[in-house]
Amino acid sequence: MVLAELGGSISRALQQMSNATVIDEKVLNECLNEITRALLQSDVQFKLVRDMQTNIKKIVNLDDLAAGHNKRKIIQHAIFNELCKMLDPGKPSFTPKKGKPSVVMFVGLQGSGKTTTCTKYAYYHQKKGWKPALVCADTFRAGAFDQLKQNATKAKIPFYGSYMESDPVKIAVEGVETFKKENCDLIIVDTSGRHKQEAALFEEMRQVAEATKPDLVIFVMDSSIGQAAFDQAQAFKQSAAVGAVIVTKMDGHAKGGGALSAVAATKSPVIFIGTGEHMDEFEVFDVKPFVSRLLGMGDWSGFMDKIQEVVPKLDNQPELLQKLSEGTFTLRIMYEQFQNLLQMGPLSQLTSMLPGADLMPKGNDKESQAKIKRYMTMMDSMTNEELDSTNTKLITESRIVRIARGSGRLVREVMEMLEEYKRLTKIWSKMKGLKIPKKTDMSPLSRNMNAQQMMKVLPPQMMKQLGGMGGIQNLMKQMGSAKDMMGMFGGGGDK
Ligand SMILES: Nc1nc2c(ncn2[C@@H]2O[C@H](COP(=O)(O)OP(=O)(O)OP(=O)(O)O)[C@@H](O)[C@H]2O)c(=O)[nH]1
């Protein structure tokens, strides 16, 4: 069962319970059985599910609930808390500090996505101003070093490895020493993948850990390994001091329930999830927003964080906001909007955080990203005059031919881009006359934005997907109720 389906099943079970006129023992049992079935189908370990059911029944004593109490909310609260408890081992993992050298060792089964994840982890920190480095101590799989080298080069991250040396301990030690001398503050050691049965490889992993003394050992787990997750994770925990888990391949046919089992087996938190093969398809994992998403309440804080990554750019451009409020929308502004959009990553990643995400139309991310890049290439061939004008008549036929030639695209494609500009101009013209929030209101971005402010920071494509201003207002209403609930559950709605 894919995670979205699990979320759908749980929220449907809760909805059915809400529809009942009276919530009695029978209705509660039906709801819990439905949730139990969904969790088991998602490969959550049987014992965990059974314990959860018992705990909820203990908390929700229907007879004790005085009349007038909102039973639905209390039950939802109990389910939310129990799911959070499953995913929260109760202690945070070691967090590396910027500027202070830390060694992080990655372990996991063969093919779990370890090497890819090492690079994603390095790239994520590099973007935040760290100085990461990668060490390939995987001498077991031929091609592992080449793969790491290729990934590292693409992300411009220094790497260390050897084609000749067969002793992984030696490579790991040399690599760590080299990068410590180079003042790298996040030294990532990739180890060979192994199967649970391979005692020799486990011994090798133990030796690498002993020699490099990692500050943190991260267990990388493929989310589709199903019920095997608990045993696998436990086997790794027994051989290395696993302190955190990263669950990969949460896109596609992921059976997300394995994540819950891995946490239980390693008593370590999930810190990131992998959501695709690309370098930036990697998300910080937070328990409450994740469970909130599972229960169909959306992930308000994750959504705002994503938007916030883009806002500093807007914050530095008060003139842009000024222009938009004057109703001036130029090709240059469109270019900047596209840049923001690309920076935010795939749109589906963002919309998946919203309540009712499974109901939203699915766009073709890859295709639309390629289209945006194509449009930007064409705009790169435009003059400043063309980019800053609002007069579309300025771009005459001969200019269109020049732009097409300059960008290596077809005349038809340039015309299509200009059509898109005209379409967006119409959307943005509705912004005319809007009050611009003071700079202090925007930085850091107020989490209590209103719909109009939200429109300012959202790229037009996103606005369209959300159903325009009406859709956004509706969304904010839902967010409001989700936030109320999160607040009730211990303040998870706002971080
Ligand atoms: N869809 C998807 N694919 C992923 C993700 N993470 C990794 N992969 C893919 O999974 C495959 C295996 O990844 P690797 O990084 O080579 O796995 P590994 O664990 O290092 O493999 P060994 O070195 O053999 O242990 C590759 O094709 C990756 O592109 C993810 O989050 N989503």
SS (H, E, C) 267-281: CCCEEEEECCCCCCC
**211 C-alpha to center of ligand 1: Å?**
26
Binning pLDDT at 50, 70 and 90, where does residue 442 land? very low
Binning pLDDT at 50, 70 and 90, where does residue 445 land? very low
- Is residue 304 exposed (0-12), middle (13-18) or buried (19+ Cβ within 10 Å)? buried
Q: Is the pLDDT of residue 116 over 80?
A: yes
How far apart, in whole angstroms, are the C-alpha atoms of residue 309 and residue 448? Answer: 17
Q: Are strands 186-191 and 270-274 parallel, antiparallel or unpaired?
A: unpaired
Nearest to 88 by CA among 298, 230, 244: 244
Residues above pLDDT 90, as percent of the chain:
26
**464 C-alpha to center of ligand 1: Å?**
34
Distances (CA, A) of 305 to 283, 344, 472: 11, 10, 17
Q: Tally Cβ neighbours within 10 Å of residue 365.
A: 15
Q: Is the pLDDT of residue 483 over 50?
A: no
State mean pLDDT over 420-449: 58
Binning pLDDT at 50, 70 and 90, where does residue 399 land? very high
Nearest to 360 by CA among 352, 368, 372: 352
Distances (CA, A) of 201 to 146, 193, 194, 198, 220: 21, 8, 6, 6, 16
Q: Tally Cβ neighbours within 10 Å of residue 366.
A: 11
What pLDDT is attached to residue 414?
A: 95
452 or 40: which leads in pLDDT: 40
Kind and range of the H or E run holding 190:
strand 186-191
Protein residue whose Cα sits closest to atom 3 of ligand 1: 277
Q: Is the pLDDT of residue 43 over 90?
A: no
Q: Please give all residues whose beta carbon lies within 6 A of any atom in ligand 1, as ranges.
A: 108, 110-116, 138, 141, 144, 147, 193, 248-249, 251-252, 274-277
The first and second tokens of residue 311, run together, are 């806002």
Out of 133-137, 138-142, 233-237, the most confident range is 133-137
Give the number of the atom of ligand 1 that is nearest the alpha carbon of residue 112.
Answer: 19
What pLDDT is attached to residue 394?
A: 92
Binning pLDDT at 50, 70 and 90, where does residue 347 land? low
Lowest mean pLDDT among 155-159, 259-263, 418-422, 490-494: 490-494
Lowest mean pLDDT among 26-30, 351-355, 395-399, 406-410: 351-355
Q: Which of 148, 224, 277, 348 to mutate to test the pocket of ligand 1 (most atoms within 8 A of CB)?
A: 277
313 or 166: which leads in pLDDT: 166
Lowest mean pLDDT among 13-27, 240-254, 297-311, 321-335: 297-311
- Is residue 199 exposed (0-12), middle (13-18) or buried (19+ Cβ within 10 Å)? exposed
Q: Is the pLDDT of residue 412 over 90?
A: yes
**262 C-alpha to center of ligand 1: Å?**
18
Average pLDDT value over all residues in the chain: 77
State mean pLDDT over 121-143: 90
Distances (CA, A) of 257 to 7, 116, 261, 374: 11, 22, 7, 39
What pLDDT is attached to residue 440?
A: 43
Q: Is the pLDDT of residue 171 over 80?
A: yes
Protein residue whose Cα sits closest to atom 6 of ligand 1: 113
Protein residue whose Cα sits closest to atom 29 of ligand 1: 277
Backbone angles phi, psi at 54, to 5 degrees: -60, -45
Q: Are strands 270-274 and 282-284 parallel, antiparallel or unpaired?
A: antiparallel
Out of 61-65, 367-371, 422-426, the most confident range is 422-426
Per residue in 182-221, pLDDT tens? Answer: 999 999 999 987 766 678 788 888 999 999 999 999 999 9
How far apart, in whole angstroms, are the C-alpha atoms of residue 126 and residue 140? Answer: 28
State mean pLDDT over 17-36: 82
**198 C-alpha to center of ligand 1: Å?**
20
Distances (CA, A) of 132 to 92, 117, 137, 204, 333: 22, 14, 16, 24, 34
Per residue in 242-279, pLDDT tens? Answer: 999 998 988 765 556 677 778 878 889 999 989 888 88
120 or 31: which leads in pLDDT: 120
Binning pLDDT at 50, 70 and 90, where does residue 492 land? very low
Give the number of the atom of ligand 1 that is nearest the alpha carbon of residue 248.
Answer: 31
Residue written as tokens 């369209």? 464
**443 C-alpha to center of ligand 1: Å?**
38
Binning pLDDT at 50, 70 and 90, where does residue 489 land? very low
215 or 481: which leads in pLDDT: 215
Contact between 310 and 457 under an 8 Å Cβ cutoff? The reply is yes
Binning pLDDT at 50, 70 and 90, where does residue 325 land? low
Q: Tell me the Cα Rg of the chain.
A: 25
Q: Which of 116, 135, 145, 285 to mutate to test the pocket of ligand 1 (most atoms within 8 A of CB)?
A: 116
- Contacts for 367 with CB less than 8 Å, ≥ 6 apart: none
Q: Is the pLDDT of residue 72 over 60?
A: yes
How far apart, in whole angstroms, are the C-alpha atoms of residue 22 and residue 18? Answer: 9
**319 C-alpha to center of ligand 1: Å?**
44
Protein residue whose Cα sits closest to atom 10 of ligand 1: 113
Q: Is the pLDDT of residue 25 over 70?
A: yes
Lowest mean pLDDT among 175-184, 196-205, 227-236: 196-205
- Is residue 62 exposed (0-12), middle (13-18) or buried (19+ Cβ within 10 Å)? middle
Residues above pLDDT 70, as percent of the chain:
69
What pLDDT is attached to residue 130?
A: 94
Give the number of the atom of ligand 1 that is nearest the alpha carbon of residue 194.
Answer: 25
Nearest to 169 by CA among 219, 118, 220, 206: 206
CA dihedral sign, ordered 171, 177, 183, 187 = positive
What pLDDT is attached to residue 309?
A: 57
**331 C-alpha to center of ligand 1: Å?**
40
CA dihedral sign, ordered 198, 204, 206, 212 = negative
